[in-house]
Every structure is written in C-alpha cells, then in structure tokens.
Amino acid sequence: MSVPGGSPECGGSVVVYLKGDGNGRFEDLSFTGEGDTISMGATSIIVQKVHDEGLTMEEVLALDYDEFVERLGRELIGSRTRNATLGLSTLKYAIQKYRRDALRAGTGPERPVAEPA
C-alpha cells in the first residue's frame, strides 16, 4: 500500500510504501519524497531505523515524536519540527490504514480467533 503525507508548500511531501506480513511486522517498507533536507533526512532515518532494528508496527506506533526530534537534534531542526516528524507521522498513518484495511478484509492480526467447535 502507498500512503502520501505532507505537502511541498510546507517543507516536503512523502509517500510511504508499506507491505505487512499479516502478523504486525513489515515485509517491505520504503518511501519516496521531495522536500527540504530535514524532512527527507528524518524520513530516511525512521525508515532505516525500522529496517535496522526490525521494529514491529506496534513499536513504530509507540515511538514518541519529542524523543524522535531529540535524537535527530533539536538544535539542528530549530523551528522545523513538523518537517522533522513528517516521515514518522506518515508512517504511523500508513500503519493505521494498513490495520484498518486488514480488519475490513478479515486478514489482520487483530481479527478475533474463533474457538474450535
């Protein structure tokens, strides 16, 4: 699935491409984008973090925006916090959309398991 986020007029726009494995993990994750150095760099960092650390979707949803900005370097980002969190917020939205779509299709891990008769 692909999910767009941001806008070029506000520092950047990204499209997150997410493929889940049906068990709360990423089978594939990438992005394309256009914008300032902060929005593109921060998006690259969060996608790389997911790959390197093998984060689950639940772990990504639990990531704190302020902690993420601190790790990037608040003094580097200055007043462009929205740009720095563009990738993380778009990724979180993509995960939520993936889960909603999986629930509707009856294929998500959140689907109740029927007891055997």
Three-state secondary structure call for residue 113: coil
Residue 109 pLDDT grade (very low, low, confident, very high; cuts 50, 70, 90): low
**Residue 45: closest CA among 70, 9, 10, 20:** 70
Contact 12, 6 (CB under 8 A): yes
Please report which confidence band the pLDDT of residue 9 belongs to, taking 50, 70 and 90 as the band edges: confident
Domains of the chain: 2-105 (3.90.1010.10)
Report yes or no: 30 and 15 within 8 Å, Cβ to Cβ. no
Q: In this structure, what DSSP letter does residue 10 have?
A: G
User: What are 68-106's pLDDT values in tens digits?
Assistant: 999 999 999 999 999 999 999 999 999 999 999 998 988
